Amino acid sequence: MSITVIKPGLLSSFQDLGRFGHQHLGVPVGGAMDGRAHRLANLLAGNTGDEATLEVTLVGPTLRFDAAGCIAISGAHLSPTLNQQPIPNNRPLIVRAGDVLAFGARTAGLRSYIAWNGGIALPSVLGSRSTYLRGGFGGFHGRALRKGDVLNMLGELDASALDDLEQELWRIKVYLPAILGLVPRASIRVMRGAHTPLFTDGSIADFFAGEYRIGPQSERMGYRLQGAQLLLKSSTQLLSEATSFGSIQVPPDGNPIILMADRQTTGGYAKIGHVATVDLPVIAQCMPGETLSFTEIALTQAQRLDSQREEAFAQLHRDLSPLRALFER
């Protein structure tokens, strides 16, 4: 019940929804950059819990399956193939012993997520199977995949029943609401925060009216933006406080940074705003060199959007009950 890594890809690491409850010890939450695609892949693979998925960045890996299983791929469109034949995103797919999964050219997005029915055998570290690359723990030996790695699947299927199962899976219709799909947005929705009044009126206006280019140093810890410099009314000293996914902090150089999954646990820079949770996956799927613009929304709007997303996931979970039943037989 194993998978052999033929090529590791550019940066392929296992992630779940994160490592919560340890920020006071200096341990970042981490987890999937695009939590929406991660959750979607798990649902489509027939998983009920938060199994770790393989987060693939831009250039995907080549994997050989040594046993039968079911996978699903969500997120970025990186031209996946199975035995050199194109396969779709957002569908449960049967793989057989000897099959080779590979990826090609990027056509949309940046990060893709591969889920396995039953998951991959990984140790839990502080309540999570996410890889924290800087700390060297979690996931698969605390690092990105390398050539020759062997992964152990936990959901091997009965090889004698694969043809019938594959046909039944293809009969299942998957209706994906737009709020759960890979849909780019012209503008990222942002809420003001407690620190917003510390910035000059001109800087606040520039932030919501201008465009910002994603800098080349952007990665899982934070997205560095290049554009109009944001200035404080005075050189106020702030106490360090806990950070959150999507906070937009502004260091002394005036160039904002959107804090992402592997953000530091505390920070003392002023924050001009906070990205609505529903739009974090949009940012996670953007590449350095692309541009972002921002639109102000109220907290109540952000909460409503978050509720709509959760309702869509709940409905999809109900719709996919026939899929899960196939794996319980």
C-alpha span between 275 and 302 (Å, rounded): 9
Looking at per-residue confidence, does 173 or 254 come out higher? 254
Among 16-30, 91-105, 159-173, 175-189, which is the least confidently predicted range? 159-173
Cα-flanking dihedrals φ and ψ of residue 287, to 5°? Answer: -105, 155
Would you list the DSSP string of 96-165?
-TT-EEE-----EEEEEEEEETT-B----BTTB---BTTTTBSTBTTB---TT-EEEBS----GGGHHHH
pLDDT of residue 112 exceeding 80? yes
Among 106-120, 126-140, 230-244, 263-277, which is the least confidently predicted range? 230-244
Per-residue pLDDT, averaged over 233-237, amounts to: 86
- Give 234's Cβ-side CA count (13 Å radius): 3
Burial class (CB in 10 A: 0-12, 13-18, 19+), 216: exposed
pLDDT of residue 160 exceeding 80? no
Bridge-based pairing of strands 291-296 and 188-191 is parallel
pLDDT of residue 262: 97
12-15, strands of its sheet edge to edge: 12-15, 53-57, 108-116, 69-77, 93-95
pLDDT class of 80 with cuts at 50, 70, 90: very high
| pTM higher than 0.75 | yes
- Residues forming CATH 2.40.100.10 domain(s) in the chain: 188-297
pLDDT of residue 304: 97
pLDDT class of 170 with cuts at 50, 70, 90: confident
pLDDT of residue 40 exceeding 80? yes
H or E segment and range at residue 249: strand 247-250
C-alpha span between 260 and 249 (Å, rounded): 11
pLDDT of residue 328: 80
Which CATH number does 188-297 carry? 2.40.100.10
Query: How many other CB atoms sit within 10 Å of the CB of residue 307?
Result: 11
Token pair for residue 328? 């319980």
H or E segment and range at residue 270: strand 270-275
